[in-house]
Chains A and B, each alone.
Chain A
């Protein structure tokens, strides 16, 4: 069995995470119920003619995958595995709107071609001329964790030496307006939108892309190692503790060995109880959260893994993400827990490298 090392990371998010280091410039926005990701200068990564044809999700995916590779000092990988809850929503909406508005006439194929869920993974493969394994997982809040699980299985079993794994979801106008309509996105009148102690339903929605270069060898650039990943379709709140215990047992760890727990609280009063249960269960750990910075989207949990990777490497926790005041002498083991509306629960276990 090989270890699964994170050797390069990159994130485009509602924070300036792409061009600056870590969260030094992080700003909490409690006034907008939709957060857009900050665009870097895509021209560094993509020819201008291609940029014009690309929806934001593709651009974000190409840029973050390129940066993650660069940080790991890699030019090629054995596999590309992507998670995306909603896929290429912008192109899907565009094509759909044309079908409906023009009564199925006068259509051109570009937006259809780019609408398939695996467009980003396919585009990265073309750009890298990577002919290896190429998968795309599309299952709500565990889309990224499914990709990460697949990648870790292949790294640890020695099927692949290096894998690009990432999570992407993009803003799309119609989809987000439908989410507002049914209350998945917080109503504007519920401002300010605090993730903690929220009394309102729904979440602040956002978009983002996060990529990781995984390898089976430790390097100068190594951030952390992924020890294990588990996903589950549904749980009730009373089962959260057992879900965590069972996962830790399998990895021969006890609760006191979890230095930090990263929780996916999104301020939805109906479902944040799951995170309260997890927090109560891991009361001795340093607790942190991130969706007040990233917003909620199906692959926001990849932003959590990005955060944990940085903490394990730098051994520092930014004040802006702290949920409690518990300090540890060192941050060796981090557990991440996420769920969305009681479905798609995930646990990710990460550690520093020895």
Chain B
């Protein structure tokens, strides 16, 4: 039996998001359709690169987030945990859930930096200052998930995925599998990552950060802007949807994960991993490429990604490339959270029948004729495909369909 034959379409009943373009789904949507980028100068983090680089920063400080979340001042939340809790609470609220444990519920979260913001700040100071030692255990990725689960009151299966920039897509997939296999009836899935000196300097040494605004699929693209964000979806079984007469926002109808098996950080020249991920997702969704109405590409605007992804897109779609755009010019590349925020954008695209404009595009890449959608397009959308690729050759594709 093939995977596609046992899958059911998984209902998405709630979304929550915080990114550089807004603290609610509505704010994010309005920024996307009004071409309002969130790329700006850094305010909340001290780094020598703040004068030369721009970021997709969430402008709420940790104190402001603490206040919004009603946390006691002496908490030990990393910024990743603050952002994650904020978005996850919103998702559960949007799904209209009164009692989170009325059905078997889990949380599958994802992050790449976890509590790195605290670790890099207090690395040596920990030994001299007892006051801050409470943050030591906030470093590991699982701590973020525990804090989110506790804030939501989830008592059950809670785990975390970290596969670099495809992390949240994989969290969404595993959550869907848990529902499809009958282990859970409801899963909160998504990811969170805050900006940190660690990732800023890491990407800087790889020379894939632009000193300007990122320009996905442009011939003269110079690299990415890093961003921070968190987003979560609530996935629910058909049983809950039926019994509670839930409003379904969209369905997750297919997904695929594959490995490029090429290089730790670079994508292969033929986009093999990306191609395989898209193929698997299409097969599971029993959808042919011509039925995809919009592709929310990974489109980081690094020379390597856009070339490799473009080649993979051509292999999948041939001459019939659907409308596509990257939303990274709005939010920056938010690493482990990227696939989750783009899942929210894909769901809202289906709800509102819009294709978001790919900002900053000027000149077609010389290697192929792929031209992203640069103006807001309003058209009936039934199926949206979203890509996310990460270090370690990790390639993930999600397919969403209209409710």
Contact = CB atoms under 8 A, between A and B. Distances in A.
B329 interface: no
A107 B260 contact: no
Interface stretch (A39-47, A136-144, A271-279, A313-321): A136-144
Given A95-B198, A107-B205, A137-B159, A125 B392 contact: yes
Nearest to B280: A133
Nearest to B121: A100
B264 interface: yes
Contact of B392 (A104, A118, A150): A118
A115 B146 CA distance: 23
Nearest to B268: A131
Kindly name the residue among B154, B162, B174, B265 whose own CB sees the greatest number of chain A CB atoms within 10 A: B162
| Range for the number of chain B residues in contact with chain A | 35 or more
Given A104-B201, A153-B177, A125 B261 contact: yes
Contacts of B120: 96, 99-100
A244 interface: no
B310 interface: no
Contacts of A113: 206, 264-265, 391
Nearest to B178: A153
Nearest to A87: B162
Contact of A231 (B157, B204, B390): B157
A118 B136 contact: no
A119 B260 contact: no
Interface size class, chain A: 35 or more
Contacts of B263: 126
A126 B261 contact: yes
Interface in B102-141: 107, 112, 114, 116, 119-120, 123-124, 126-127, 133, 136-137, 139-141
Contacts of A122: 259, 264, 391-394
B393 A126 contact: yes
Given A112-B202, A138-B161, A96 B181 contact: no
A243 to B, nearest CB: 11
Contact of B142 (A123, A128, A134, A344): A344
A174 B159 contact: no
A114 interface: yes
A328 interface: no
Contacts of B272: 131
A146 interface: yes
Given A86-B140, A146-B159, A131 B258 contact: yes
A131 B47 contact: no
A119 B174 CA distance: 20
Interface string A74-92: 0000001000011100001
A331 B45 CA distance: 57
A97 B143 CA distance: 22
B262 interface: yes
A249 to B, nearest CB: 14
B198 A232 contact: no
A22 interface: no
B78 interface: no
A10 to B, nearest CB: 21
A161 B155 CA distance: 32
Contact of A132 (B198, B258, B390): B258
A247 interface: no
Given A96-B123, A136-B162, A344-B142, A104 B197 contact: yes
A103 interface: yes
Nearest to A130: B261
A24 interface: no
B64 interface: no
B334 interface: no
Contacts of A177: 127
B28 interface: no
Most buried by B among A80, A85, A105, A140: A140
A116 interface: yes
Interface in B148-195: 149, 154-164, 170, 174, 177, 181, 183
A189 interface: no
B319 interface: no
Given A135-B163, A232-B156, A159 B257 contact: no
A117 interface: yes
A118 B394 contact: yes
A199 interface: no
Contacts of A116: 112, 162, 164, 390-392
B133 A181 contact: yes
A19 interface: no
Contact of A123 (B127, B139, B158, B264): B264
Contacts of B273: 131
B140 A140 contact: yes
11 contacts: A92-B198, A117-B164, A121-B392, A130-B259, A134-B259, A136-B392, A137-B160, A137-B162, A143-B142, A146-B160, A181-B133
The 7 closest A-B pairs by CB, nearest first: A122-B392, A112-B202, A117-B162, A233-B158, A139-B142, A140-B142, A109-B205
Given A116-B164, A233-B155, 9 more contacts: A123-B264, A131-B261, A131-B272, A134-B257, A157-B1, A158-B1, A184-B137, A231-B158, A344-B142
